Each structure stands twice: as structure tokens, then as C-alpha cells.
Chain A
Amino acid sequence: MGTTFASPLPLLAVAVSLAAVPAILLSAKNRNLREFWTLAASLAKFAVVLSLLPAVLDGRLAETRLFELAPGVRLALKADAAGVFFALVASGLWILTSVYNIGYMRGLRERKQTRYYASFAVCLSSTVGVAFAANLLTFVLFYEILTVATYPLVVHKESAEAIRAGRKYLAYTLSAGVLLIAATAMIWLTAGRLEFVPGGFLSGSSLSAGTLKALFLLLLGGVGVKASIMPLHGWLPTAMVAPTPVSALLHAVAVVKSGVFGVVRVTGFVFGPRLMADMEFDTLLAGFAAATILTASLLAFREDNLKRRLAYSTVGHLSYIVLGMALVAPAAAAGSLLHLAFHATLKITLFFCAGAIYVNLHKDKVSELDGVGRIMPWTMAAFTLGAIGLAGIPPLNGFVSKWSLGLGALQAGRPTALALLVLSGILNAGYFFPIVRRAFFKKGAFPPGAREAAPTMVAPLVVTAGLSLALGLYPDLFFRFYRLASAVAASVFGGPGP
């Protein structure tokens, strides 16, 4: 568990992108200056989060305790291992997305870019807030802000379709928020505490089985929408109408990962493994996750729209993480967190590729991708790496997290879960590899002069693909993801520290 010490850094990590919002709004007229603020904020944010890493690895947790949000509950941010882990992923990928954004938005001459960049910054602030929230009410606060801040990005195109998607998005996510608020109020009144504790804080309380069940279902509904656990996933494929960088960062990293991170918090830090097992919540959650993994993989086959196919793939992979938490085994929990990070680098690569293809060639259907690999070799090479990773084939990082999940399945004595992971890997290969084959081995017709996309778009996706490969070969590279994930698992399961 480690010791905590007061530090403004967690607050700074949240605030730095929020502080960029006025700067972005004020420099609406000068787009280079405006994008400078975004890049500066993303670099600063990542630097702050990274500076929290050594302390966490030492078992010392930085904490900012602010004013009381409601009597007895403070607005508190704590950089524990899980929080730093998630914040590293989100803020690190924001830098790359910001670079990519510039190429994408300018390439398409999108309107209202100021609103777009400002919303992005708010989203990232609230995502890191979700990561560092030290108690449930603070978590709800940032979770709800994230919901609202993402809305302008979903409806960015302002078309009738986008507005409909926005409504659907709000209907799902606001309903989920309401469930979370209800659960938080109930826990506060019945258990009298909201602070996240590794291993859970409800296990010691004298709540009845019925209350616990109600709380679990409410919380699961609350975080399950953003985590896209079926049948709560409906908003995600629809929201793919948003610009691709939004899909990439928010719908593959920040927003949906806030949901699965919520699952991690609920299972590991509110209920805890013992209560999960005693109340058989693990079986319930595993059932939902398994059904989601299978159904989403099958639905992905059906989609010809590349981004929607990626969306269903995301739905499936998010449930890997949920499944890992549901297995209630240390290796599975570590695998969950690893997959949270590694799926992020892989999926963002694929989305970046989809966006680059769209901006460059105006193609968004799988069936139109014949021969694209010859025109855009870098992009499609990165896509191939991403696809291999998501299928869980070594040496990409997707294999590492899946291996850990598989080990966890055996630890928990649920070999069916292992079988499911293998099957899902095959299905992933089934819906991704044909794209690669089309792109490289079929001939397509292209206008003369068609070539690779702009460097601002290609560079980020090459970096994320390279990162995925590097993390696959050496998972502890730079960011110590492996050690962090093991530390979280150890703290939740009460084992020895890292």
C-alpha cells in the first residue's frame, strides 16, 4: 500500500490541460499559437505524470487533498499505482494525438477547431482526474465532466447523423452517471466512507447481501456504459461519426478506458477480491465480459465501415480488461491493467491509420482498401503491427497482456476463460488480417499522384506502432508498466509489494 505524502503534483496533472483551455479559446484567431498551447499542455501534463512515477515505484503515493466537496468528503486526488498507470497512458497518447490532430483537422479543413481543441483539453483533464480520484465522489465528479466534455467532440460534424449520435451518447452516459450517483449516495450513507482502498473497503462493513448486490449492479451499470459491456455498448459504434482523432484517443483510450478503469476501481478498490468471490460477483461479471468478447468479435466481422469494425473490436477488447478483473486472481488483474495500456497503443495505431486513409484517399470502407498498402506503406505497415498485436501474437505487446490474463485464468481455475481468450485471438485475426491482405496483395485504382499521408499523421502512428512493438519485447520499457501493474495487483490482493 505504501505511505502517502502531500503534494500538489496530482492536482497539477489535472489542472495543466484545464489551464490551457482559456489560452486555446483566446488564440482562436491564430491557429499555430492555438495548437502550440495544446502541444505545450500535453507535454507538460505528461511530464508531471511521469514525475510521479519514481515515488509510486518506491511505494510512496502523492496526494492532493482539497476542500470538502460535500460535508465529510473531500475533493482528493491520489497518485497511486493504478492512477499513475492510467494517467501515463492517457497523457502520453494525448501528445501523439495532438500532433495527429493538427494533420487531420487541417487536412480536412474542419470548422470550429477551437471548440474542438478546447474540448479535448477538458476531456484529458477529467480523464486524469478519473485516474487520480481518491474517493468515489471525486471519481463521479470527473466522470461526469468527461461525459459532458466529450459531447461537443461527438457532435463535431454537426450533421444530423452526428447530432443523433450525440443524443444516443448522452442518453447512455448520463443514465450511467445517474446510477453512479445513486450508488455513491447509498455507499456514503450505509458504509460511511468513500475512499478507495486497495482490496476494497466494503468487505469489512456490515451491509446486507441484498444491499451489496444492489450496489454492485448500480456501480456496474454506472461504469459499464463507458466500458461498453454489452448490452450497454450501443453508443460506441454510433459515436464513430466523430472525427477520427476523437475515436482514436477518446473512444479507444480516454473515455472507454475511464469506464474500464472504473471497473478496476469498483472491483479492486470498493468491493475487493474477497467480497467479489464471496458474493459471486466474479461469476456475474465474467459472464457479461465473456458474452461481450464473443458477440463483439462476431459483430466486427459484419462491419464494412473500417471505423465501426474497429469500434466493435474495441468493445471486445475492453471486456478482456473486465474479464481480467472478474477472474479475481493477481496475474489476471495485472493482465487487465497491462491490457488497458497495451490495447490503447495498438488500437490508437489502427484508428490513426483509418484516419490517415480517410484524409488522404477519402476511403472509409474495408472493401475499398485494395492496394492501399502500396500507396501508403508506412501507414499500412503500422496497421499490420496493430492487427498482429490485437490478435495477441508475439512479439507485440498485446501478447504480453494476454499471456498475463491467461495465467490469471489458470490461477483462478477457470480454463474456459483461457479458451475464450484464445478463440477471441483467432476471431481478431479473422477480421483484421483480411484488411492487411487486401491492402498489400490486391490491386486498387488510385488517382495519379496519390501517396503517403502528411508527416504529422504518419509520424504519430509509426511511433505508436513502434511503441507497441517495443513494449512487446520489453514491457517494462520507459514507463515501468509491468512493475506498476504488478504493484497494483499485489496491493489489491494483499501480496508483497513490488
Chain B
Amino acid sequence: MTWIWTNAPALPVVLLLPAAIIIPLAALIDRRLARALALAASLAAVALGILNLVRVLADGPVRYFMGGWPPPIGIEYVLDPLSAFVILVVNAIGFLVLLHAGTPVARELPEAGQQVPYYAVAVLMLCGFNGIVVTGDFFNLYVWLEISSLSLYGLIAVGGRKAPVAAFRYLILGTIGACFYLLGLGFLFTMTGTLNMADLKAILPAVSAEPAVAVGLGLIVAGMGLKMALFPLHGWLPDAYTYAPSASSALIAPLGTKVGAYVLIRILFFVFGVGAAAKAFPLTTVVGWLAAGGILYGSVMAMAQRELKRMLAYSSIAQVGYIGLGIGLANPLGLIGAILHVMNHAAMKGLLFLVAGNFRTVLGHSDIARLDGSARRRMPWTTAAFAVGALSMIGIPPLAGFFSKWYLALGAVARKQWVFLAVILVSSLLNAVYFFRVLERVYLVKPDAEEDAPRTEVTASMRIPVLILAAALVLLGVLNAAIVKGVLAKVAAAALF
């Protein structure tokens, strides 16, 4: 057991990477092994995530040298409250979505040649996300970024007829984003001579006045802004989320953009700092204003959509804006709000995309205009969970979504950023508009065929994750003070303000 304890920071990655490779091989023996292995691997990653978080909170940050080689020669993995927290969120949501994926994958990817790779690639993507979050080395981060991105393109491309085009578009833009990141990293490397985050943090203050550093940082922020779909770099997102298979979009939507946001937070708040050095080059302010624009743009566009997944996709652009806004506030409360929203939005969007998947499985479509009371009658649990998710998105206390807004609002007040405060609050109302539009249809519109539709609630494997997430929204809301005080306050205390 001590072996697990000492190597725990690297174990999620070390576990998931081979799993992704073994899955196709095991499937040669029995196809059902693919899903079982994927579930087992991601469940183990959740367990490790809990272990790591508990440990970090008890003992403080853990630095782990890959292969025993200390930096600058070796690659360092760092578990601090931020990375441990985000990893747990990523793995928990990933597990729940994979648990749900059985039926949608079998239905939407009917060919056996697609099902097995789905699980393999999904696990590979989770592995990439874990690597991005845990690594303490910027180049290693790039490697994990590419691994997760390539998996992402694959997961999207297996969808319907329009999916390959959407995936290709995302591939082009995603690659540009990654190039920006790499280019920016080159600038930083030439100025500092290191790629290790801790070293960079120590050296940067000495050279922070150099234009090359500013350019490098700007490029990195632009690249990551593209990955997290920060307005106006969001162009790839709606098509990719809409045309991807349900099982893929439910996996990508809650997690994909969050990882980009994590990198942004890591660089701006933990390596570069938003204090004195940022005065000359107010990157966070730019991010904040773009995010505010994205919140309004995404919400308005979401109102105009006719298809549930597409509506949720635009809503994601708006929600990513919340995180960007928290970054833009550049104060502890804003940062807490941003990170809390990483978790809350992952849970909410995961839930809502899973519900969209359930609609598609049972009703055969997720067109808002064609939804009616029969959806509720056939799937009372799924629609109830959708209602909880929608209310949380609107920000009704005590659901999780309210508290993201609470901390962001506090951050905006502390900074006297009244425009940001107004944007946060108005977006609640815009959320209400597009979510109640769906709720009205599901709960109040009488079905055309008056005969009693049979109650064909989805299978347990599709219902349980949805219900767990709905319950989680209540719990995360009620327990937010514990999370904030126990974890996020430590994160904010370690950040460079």
C-alpha cells in the first residue's frame, strides 16, 4: 500500500494510459470487456482522485518526480489543492458519463468497429486531461494537451453525417490553439531557460518587463482561450457538441473546456501572477471582458436554438464565460467563483447532456419544438433531473449554480466591477428564458396523441448517473461552504495576487 501512497500523484495517468491500449486488445476476447475495463479504470481514477485530494489537504502539496529524476532534467508532477480538486472533478464526471454511455454507444454507434474504439479513445482522453492537470511542466502539458485533443477529435468525428466536418473544423482550430500555446512557450523558454512551472515562477519576476514574456504569455492565453472556447474563439464549439454522438458530447462538454480554463488559471494565477507584473499587460482584464461578452452572446444564441444539444452548446459558451469572468476579476473571490464553477458547471452540463442523450434514446430526437408532455410521462425521472439541472443553471438556491454566481458576484462587488455584476445577474434571467422554454414544453404542452404513452424510462445505467448528478447539484450547493473553506480558500491563498 505504501507503493500506492508514494506514487499516487502519477497513478491516474499511469493507470489510464495502459487501459486505453489494453481495451481494444481485451475486446478481441470479449467485446463487453471494453466497457467494463473503461469503467474499472475510470472508477480507480476517481478513487485515486479522492485519495490524492485528502492527502493534499492534510499534508500540503506533493511534488512527484517522474522516474525519480528531479527537474530541470526530469518531469515533475505536482499535486496541490487546485490540481487535486480539478482531477477529482474530471474523473468523477468522466466515470458517471462512461457509466451512462453503454446504451447510447450501442444505439448511436451501431457498428462494433466503432464501439470498442469509443471506450479506448474516451479513456485516452481522460488520461490526457489528468496529465494536463497534474503535470508541473509546461512542455509535458503540451504533450497531454495533444493526446487529449486528438482523442477529442476522434470522439466527435464518429458521430452522424455532419460530425466529421465539425471534427475537422475543431481539429484545425484546436491545432492553431495548440500552436499558439507552443509558440508562447518558446518565447518563455528563451527568456527563462526552463519549462518547469515552479522554476518559471521563480525566474519570471526578473524578466517580466521583457516584451518577449508579454508576447509569450499573450500567445498562451490566446491558445488556451481557443481550447476553452472563450468568446470570440468559440467558433468550433457549437457544431462539435451538436453533431458528436450523445456519449461523446456528454463527455466533452463538461470537461473539455474546463481543462483549458484550468491551464489558464494555472498560468495566470500560479506562475505569472496577477499582481504588480500584470499591471503593464492586463491579460486578466482582457479575459474578463471577453468572458462578459461571451456570457451575453452565448445566452442570446442559446435562446435562438431549436435543438436541445445545440442550445446546451451555446449555453456552454456562456458558462465558460463565468469562469473567464472569475479569472478576469483577478481577486480571491473571483478565483474561488471560477474554480467552483469549473466543478458546478461540469456537474450541470454533464447532467443536461446526459438528459439530452436520454431524450434521443427514448424519443429518437432532441428537438425542442417537438418535445411535449409525453416526454415527461415516458421519462419522469429524466425530466425531473433536467428540471433540477435547469434550475441550478438559472441559479436558484440552494442548488450548486447559485453559489457560483454568489462568489462571482461577491468578487465583482469587491472589485467594484458593476458591469460584471450586472452581466452575471442578467445571465441568470437569460438562462431562465431558454430553460423554461424547454421546461414548459416538457411539463405543460399536451402531447398530440392523447392516448397514454407507455412509461419507457431509460435503462438503469442511463438513469442512475443522471439522478446522481441531480442529487450532486443539491449536495454541492448545500456543502459549498465546506468545499470553499476546505479546498478553494487554500487554492486562493496560494495564488499570486
Is A189 within 8 A of B413, CB to CB?
A: yes
Task: Tell which of B126-134, B146-154, B361-369, B404-412 binds the partner.
Answer: B404-412
Task: Tell which of B6-14, B65-73, B188-196, B393-401 binds the partner.
Answer: B393-401
* B278 contacts the other chain (CB 8 A): no
Of the candidates B398, B428, B480, B481, the one whose C-beta lies within 8 Å of that of A174 is B428
Closest to B406 in A: A70
* B436 contacts the other chain (CB 8 A): yes
Of the candidates A69, A167, A178, the one whose C-beta lies within 8 Å of that of B398 is A69
Task: Tell which of A13-21, A141-149, A371-379 binds the partner.
Answer: A141-149
Closest to A162 in B: B444
Closest to B432 in A: A174
**Given A71-B485, A185-B409, A189-B414 in contact, is the A148-B391 Cβ separation under 8 Å?**
yes
CA distance A178 to B405 in the complex (A): 10
* A51 contacts the other chain (CB 8 A): no
Is B409 within 8 A of A181, CB to CB?
A: yes
Inter-chain contacts of B394 with A (CB < 8 A): 174
Is A70 within 8 A of B425, CB to CB?
A: no
B372-402: which residues lie under 8 A (CB-CB) from chain A? 391, 394-398, 402
Closest to A148 in B: B396
Is B478 within 8 A of A67, CB to CB?
A: yes
Inter-chain contacts of A71 with B (CB < 8 A): 481, 484-485, 489
Inter-chain contacts of A166 with B (CB < 8 A): 440
Is B432 within 8 A of A170, CB to CB?
A: yes
Is A163 within 8 A of B429, CB to CB?
A: no
* A186 contacts the other chain (CB 8 A): yes
B457-497: which residues lie under 8 A (CB-CB) from chain A? 478, 480-482, 484-485, 489
CA distance A147 to B396 in the complex (A): 9
Inter-chain contacts of A144 with B (CB < 8 A): 396-397, 402
Q: Per-position contact with A for B403-446: 1 when CB-CB < 8 Å, else 0? A: 10111011001100000010001101100100010001001111
Q: How many residues of chain B are within 8 Å of chain A by beta carbon?
A: 34
CA distance A174 to B391 in the complex (A): 11
* A68 contacts the other chain (CB 8 A): yes
A114-141: which residues lie under 8 A (CB-CB) from chain B? 140-141
CA distance A152 to B485 in the complex (A): 36
What's the least CB distance linking B252 to chain A, in Å?
Answer: 30
Which of B409, B425, B444 has the most chain A CB atoms closer than 10 A to its own CB?
B444
Is B444 within 8 A of A69, CB to CB?
A: no
**Given A141-B397, A144-B397 in contact, is the A178-B428 Cβ separation under 8 Å?**
yes
Which of A145, A155, A185 has the most chain B CB atoms closer than 10 A to its own CB?
A185
* A182 contacts the other chain (CB 8 A): yes
* A304 contacts the other chain (CB 8 A): no
Question: For chain A, which range describes its interface: under 10, 10 to 19, 20 to 34, or 35 or more residues?
Answer: 20 to 34
Inter-chain contacts of B397 with A (CB < 8 A): 69, 140-141, 144-145
What's the least CB distance linking B454 to chain A, in Å?
Answer: 18
Closest to A111 in B: B446
Q: Per-position contact with A for B275-298: 1 when CB-CB < 8 Å, else 0? A: 000000000000000000000000
Q: Per-position contact with B for A164-206: 1 when CB-CB < 8 Å, else 0? A: 0011001100110011011001101110000000000000000
Is A175 within 8 A of B429, CB to CB?
A: yes
CA distance A155 to B413 in the complex (A): 36
CA distance A175 to B395 in the complex (A): 12
Inter-chain contacts of A148 with B (CB < 8 A): 391, 396
CA distance A186 to B417 in the complex (A): 12
* A158 contacts the other chain (CB 8 A): yes
Inter-chain contacts of B489 with A (CB < 8 A): 71
What's the least CB distance linking B492 to chain A, in Å?
Answer: 11
Inter-chain contacts of B480 with A (CB < 8 A): 70
Is A170 within 8 A of B405, CB to CB?
A: no
**Given A141-B397, A158-B444, A158-B446 in contact, is the A69-B481 Cβ separation under 8 Å?**
yes
What's the least CB distance linking B368 to chain A, in Å?
Answer: 15
Is A67 within 8 A of B481, CB to CB?
A: yes
Is A145 within 8 A of B396, CB to CB?
A: yes
Inter-chain contacts of A190 with B (CB < 8 A): 413
What's the least CB distance linking A243 to chain B, in Å?
Answer: 15
Tell me the number of A-to-B contacts counted with CB atoms below 8 Å: 72
CA distance A185 to B329 in the complex (A): 15
What's the least CB distance linking B248 to chain A, in Å?
Answer: 33
Of the candidates B414, B429, B443, the one whose C-beta lies within 8 Å of that of A178 is B429
Inter-chain contacts of A174 with B (CB < 8 A): 394, 428-429, 432
What's the least CB distance linking B393 to chain A, in Å?
Answer: 13
What's the least CB distance linking A150 to chain B, in Å?
Answer: 12
What's the least CB distance linking A132 to chain B, in Å?
Answer: 16
CA distance A148 to B397 in the complex (A): 10
Is A68 within 8 A of B481, CB to CB?
A: yes
CA distance A135 to B480 in the complex (A): 18
CA distance A190 to B426 in the complex (A): 22
Is B405 within 8 A of A141, CB to CB?
A: no
Inter-chain contacts of A152 with B (CB < 8 A): 443
Is B405 within 8 A of A181, CB to CB?
A: yes
Is B414 within 8 A of A182, CB to CB?
A: no
Q: Per-position contact with B for A50-83: 1 when CB-CB < 8 Å, else 0? A: 0000000000000000011111000000000000
CA distance A158 to B443 in the complex (A): 9
Closest to A66 in B: B478
What's the least CB distance linking A171 to chain B, in Å?
Answer: 8
Q: Per-position contact with B for A230-258: 1 when CB-CB < 8 Å, else 0? A: 00000000000000000000000000000
What's the least CB distance linking B410 to chain A, in Å?
Answer: 5
Closest to B412 in A: A185
Of the candidates A70, A140, A179, A185, the one whose C-beta lies within 8 Å of that of B481 is A70
CA distance A190 to B409 in the complex (A): 13
Closest to A174 in B: B432
Inter-chain contacts of B481 with A (CB < 8 A): 67-71
**Given A70-B403, A70-B480, A71-B481 in contact, is the A188-B410 Cβ separation under 8 Å?**
yes
Is B440 within 8 A of A163, CB to CB?
A: yes
Inter-chain contacts of B391 with A (CB < 8 A): 148
Is B444 within 8 A of A141, CB to CB?
A: no
CA distance A470 to B478 in the complex (A): 44
CA distance A152 to B387 in the complex (A): 12
What's the least CB distance linking A212 to chain B, in Å?
Answer: 15
Is B410 within 8 A of A189, CB to CB?
A: yes
Inter-chain contacts of B440 with A (CB < 8 A): 155, 163, 166
Is A185 within 8 A of B484, CB to CB?
A: no
CA distance A259 to B175 in the complex (A): 54
Q: Per-position contact with B for A376-390: 1 when CB-CB < 8 Å, else 0? A: 000000000000000
CA distance A194 to B103 in the complex (A): 49
Which of A71, A163, A166 has the most chain B CB atoms closer than 10 A to its own CB?
A71
Is B444 within 8 A of A185, CB to CB?
A: no
Closest to B445 in A: A158
**Given A69-B481, A163-B440 in contact, is the A185-B396 Cβ separation under 8 Å?**
no
CA distance A178 to B425 in the complex (A): 6
CA distance A140 to B403 in the complex (A): 12
What's the least CB distance linking B207 to chain A, in Å?
Answer: 36
Is A163 within 8 A of B444, CB to CB?
A: yes
**Given A67-B478, A141-B398, A144-B397 in contact, is the A186-B428 Cβ separation under 8 Å?**
no
Inter-chain contacts of A185 with B (CB < 8 A): 406, 409-410, 413, 421
CA distance A152 to B444 in the complex (A): 9
Which of A141, A145, A178, A188 has the most chain B CB atoms closer than 10 A to its own CB?
A178
Closest to B446 in A: A158
Closest to A175 in B: B429
Is B409 within 8 A of A182, CB to CB?
A: yes
Closest to A156 in B: B444
Some 8 contacts from A to B, beta carbons below 8 A apart, are A140-B397, A141-B398, A145-B397, A158-B446, A163-B440, A163-B444, A170-B436, A185-B413
Q: Give 6 new A-B contacts, CB below 8 A, not counting A158-B445, A182-B425.
A: A68-B481, A71-B489, A144-B402, A174-B429, A178-B428, A182-B409
Which residues of A does B touch, CB under 8 Å?
Answer: 67-71, 140-141, 144-145, 147-148, 152, 155, 158, 163, 166-167, 170-171, 174-175, 178-179, 181-182, 185-186, 188-190
7 nearest CB pairs, A to B: A68-B481, A185-B409, A178-B425, A141-B397, A189-B413, A158-B444, A71-B481
